[in-house]
Structure 1
Amino acid sequence: MAGAGSMIDCCDLIAGLAARGWNQGSGVPCSTFAGPIAHLSASGHYRAAANEGLALSGAVGARLAGRREAVFLQNSGLGNLINPLTSLCQPYAVPVLALVSMRGWPDPGADEPQHALMGQTTETILSALGIWHTVLTAESLDPALDRAEQMISSGRSAFLLVPHRSISQHPGTMPALRTGGPDTAEVTSAVADACPPGTAVFATTGYTSRYLHDALDRPENFYMQGSMGHVSSLALGYADAAPEKTVIVLDGDGAALMHLGALSTIGAAQPANLVHVVIDNGGYESTGSQQSTSGTTDLAAVAKACGYRAASTVDSVQALQQQLASAAAAPGPHFILVRAGRTVRQTPQRAGASLSLPHIAARLQDATLPAAAAASHA
């Protein structure tokens, strides 16, 4: 089977990169790279990036200053990276080294459905862009790194494709996520309990959509699997097209930071029926609890500056319930930042394990269109 092999030792990978001058890393967390990210973070040699394109651009900047910086990403985020790859790296002839974890590959049917298309097309896309790439395994570690080094030296970027969960964990530990405050399960349950009948709820990818599905599955819930950072824009489009519906977004700090410009778009659009709840636990819990950059970003202040009518920060379920009630009594958009703690309980299965993704979309449409039709004839 393509990509098969024994587990890559995390420390061997980092040592191999360092031996070739790649002592620094940047990227977006992925469970496959939990070990390497922990290793580099422990020595202060990893910079968290809000999205993959920013990581790549930062690596180009570091290269211009004489430092080699490897980029870590999952192939699901390749789209975020293509713009600077094709309009910065290649035309300016500044090569980069990227390590890409491969979801939906080699067998798309063996992974979650949102990864199938990228799993099938990642190699084709890289080939079409003229990017040299090869599969990285424990057996091919040194030869692949040597070949990548040759590509970099010749002025070409090199992409190392890493099979899913094929790298061992780092023997150390990642810095703990924020403690105190309600966890993701408590926040999603509180929102589900507060929803009036007919409220549309859009939940971001990761644990948030899982816990919402577990708390209260209903046709008006949209569970995002993949498309990290896009749930608020998805909800904005829906809210604008169905102004008679109350719309709640359940977002995460890492997801909100990934496409922070969405807050400005929402502020400018002024959807009166939109409530945006961001669960800020300080990191990416579902990929290994790597820290996000929310610790230095006041997302509520950003939302207010972007034009949300109201923005608040809460640190308890009771305070969240109070803010949800206030939001229901006044026009939005409203922004509620929940200072959350780490979730220490069994994680429920994804909504996609029992509901097909097309069915999730279709049933929301079915629940919405009769109401929209009635409103248009009122």
Structure 2
Amino acid sequence: MIEAAQFVEAARERGFDWYAGVPCSYLTPFINYVLQDASLHYVSAANEGDAVALIAGVTLGAKHGRRGITMMQNSGLGNAVSPLTSLTWTFRLPQLLIVTWRGQPGVPDEPQHALMGPITPAMLDTMDIPWETFPTEADAIGPALDRAIAHMDATGRPYALVMQKGSVAPFELKDGGAPTRRTPVEPRARLRELATNPLATRRDALQKVIAHTPLDSTVVLASTGFCGRELYAIDDRANQLYMVGSMGCVTPFALGLALARPDLRVVALDGDGAALMRMGVFATLGAYGPSNLTHVLLDNGAHDSTGGQATVSAQVSFAGVAAACGYASAVESDDPAVIDELFAAPPLDGPRFASLAIRRGTPDGLPRPTITPPDVKTRLMRHIGAI
């Protein structure tokens, strides 16, 4: 058994100072220690996949060899499969995973871990994530971290430490570390007369976003599907990244980047289908989101890239959700001028949000990016001085 401080301080010496995750009783000492150290950063995510995406965003923007750790119970691996297989693996955004081994064969545990326990190693192997058991002796910590870093640096992909029961001694929590509650805002809705003013196209909206996101001070992260493809077709700029897969993860990804890089304005371009898939992240953004984070949701009421099947967004007030979750401002409209107003507004104490209703449909022959995910990531990191 080791002390929380022994691992965390060894990790800090190697550049690990960002943590995100969902608690597990095995992880309690680590979380409690990190929460009470003002020089370390911990974000309590709504689910494990959001935590993986958030640390990927930190990795994207981190300077000077800073690194991140995602912590989760092994039951949460199911929530993390999508970003682990189509974000961190695809874009080569490395992070250290600490995965607890509930239901380890031969160790009595609760019935919900009876299947996940035995298959945890196989799940990591299937996702091409090398792993080893978490160190339980002080002199084993440094070598384990060094092996993880060597793999991360060589491949650009995650490495996992699988924590067995009783690996870390208790550490008392004196302060729960809850983010400061923001003053609630009222969601605003502004609708036009659609009979005379048809909805804007996605292209109309994206052109406005481009006009307000200069190369030298902003980063634009576009959701998977036609959003990223159409942004690429309009203007492939060095400050843009086009998500592939990882549906719903553009916002926690953007949150990680915005937290790591307060010198940049980070814009997350979202869609209604993606937002509905991971609505829990609205609460995380509302609690932790900084003033340099802007969330733009383009709502056409459909899964456009898969044939136009309807979403349930027609009965959802995304601005109402954002306001209730603590965003500094939240507005929804069918007038594309709302994007101009969003970017023209003075700085606020927290993230800002706008949902714009747009028409369905996509231009014929819309190209896919020819720049590969690792190359677009490397180009962006070089552009913002992260490498």
Higher normalized contact order (CA 8 Å, seq sep 6+, divided by chain length): 2
Please identify which structure carries the higher helix content: 1
